Amino acid sequence: MELIIFSAIEGLQSEVEQLRDVAVLAPSRIDQVQRLLTGSRPPDAIYLDDSRGTPLADLWDLTARAQQVGAKVLLGLAGPARSALPDALAAGLAATSERNPVTLADWIGGQLGRRRGSSVQRLPVIAIGAAKGGIGKTFATCVLAEGLRRRGLDVLVWDSDISNPGLVPAFRIPASAPSYLHLVQRGPAHWHPSGIQPFIFQPEHTRATNQGWGRIDLLIGSHAVARAENDLRLPDWQGLYQGIIALEGYDVVLIDTPPDYLRRPYATHVLQAGGNVVLPTPPGARERMGVGHMLDHFTELAPDRLERCALLFMEPERGVTVTVSMVADLFARRYPRLSNLGVLPREPRLASLADEHDGYISMLDLGPYSRFTQATHRVVETLCAHAGLQPRLPMPKTGWWGRLSEQMFGQRTPAPAVS
């Protein structure tokens, strides 16, 4: 069931998301609600209240539009429009004056015939987002996953970009690996941790190591470009999301999201649900324009969550005149609440060696003292602080002192052999 919530009540969205089989959209402007109601897939239900100071006439207009498309209407009238509560009840509408988010969420669940799921600890989530393809989103996902693994964290990577499954070749995923698309077809009753667990692929080459590294496991959607019939509806994706963040045995979930963020607003949902979003940002004009468009989208739909967004700058290709510092200053002035994770250098030789290797190998292993590896570990250190992650291992020493320590004292354990 898809539910629109148009409310400014703090904590209401997170409480409603605990209802079973309910996917929540939480627009912040009335025109966004109107577009959702008139779209090709109208919602199943809508909750409206006057906590945003919306005039009563506009609430009645939204109510009428929702009824025209067959959506169940729930009204909250406890502020300026409270005097209209008797009229709403007399008209047969479900209405309440409740403002406590927990009690209100229970009331909404009762009206929709939905109960809360069991109280579980939610995993931290980091979505890697992009407004266009080809800017290094999947590459950034792989690099961050490997960097977090080297800090002793157990990482689950969720490949949500089923139209371009770049993680499959990047991690050398065999065709025999399970696809969670089969789980989606089984229906919401199976979207819980025990139902999801058999669809998690656990590669041998990303296991935990004796030097304390964590592991990388993967949820793969498609091994090739997915067929149209396997496309995920947003409520299905959100239902699966609730089951994934309830999994045990992981420290963080990384989501490789698709670039068509208006049709598949997965990164937006992560932001609204209290997760973090990382946007790879090459300094080219088209790329930074795409990042700006996505940030404007976040500003519309999740204006109070922008501090959970972070930019990951990518070093420009040779010959590009604009610099990262110039672009970083532009974004800092326009979006002062954003975080800056740093810059990933371009290392085409290491990238080519990793791509051509017979099995999976990370660029961090091919160039353990390269400027790319040094920059990656600094970026991961900043990301851990930004997302509230607690690494079990200190940041690796990859500079001249780390190399000298290895030569003199053998403090650095060699990279594991790659099969």
- CA dist., res. 128 & res. 272, Å (int): 15
Residue 253 pLDDT > 70, yes or no?
yes
On the 0-12 / 13-18 / 19+ scale of CB atoms within 10 A, 72 is middle
Rg (CA), the chain: 23
Q: Give the dihedral of Cα atoms 407, 408, 413, 414; nearest 10 deg.
A: 20
**Phi, psi (5° rounding) for residue 284?**
-60, 155
Give residue-wise pLDDT tens across range 359-369.
999 999 999 98
- 125-409 shares the fold of 2-112: yes
Q: What share of the chain is helix, strand, coil (3-state, %, to 5)?
A: 45, 15, 40
- The CB-side HSE value for 130 (13 A sphere, CA atoms) comes to 25
The topology under which CATH files domain 2-112 is Rossmann fold (3.40.50)
Question: Regarding the domain with residue range 125-409, which homologous superfamily does it belong to in the CATH classification?
Answer: P-loop containing nucleotide triphosphate hydrolases (3.40.50.300)
Give residue-wise pLDDT tens across range 363-387.
999 999 899 999 999 999 999 999 9
Residue 388 in tokens: 């509230």
In this structure, the number of other CB atoms found within 10 A of the CB of residue 262 comes to: 10
Given a contact cutoff of 8 angstroms between Cβ atoms, the answer to whether 59 and 88 are in contact is: no
Residue 167 in tokens: 């993680």
Give residue-wise pLDDT tens across range 43-95.
889 999 999 888 999 999 999 999 999 999 999 998 888 889 998 999 999 99
Give residue-wise pLDDT tens across range 207-230.
988 889 999 999 998 876 655 555
Domain spans, the chain: 2-112, 125-409
- CA dist., res. 44 & res. 233, Å (int): 13
Give residue-wise pLDDT tens across range 274-298.
899 999 999 888 888 999 999 999 9
> What's the pTM?
0.74
* DSSP state string for 147-207: HHHTTT--EEEEE--TTS-THHHHTT--TTS-BHHHHHHH-GGG-SHHHHGGG-B--GGG-
- The CB-side HSE value for 278 (13 A sphere, CA atoms) comes to 34
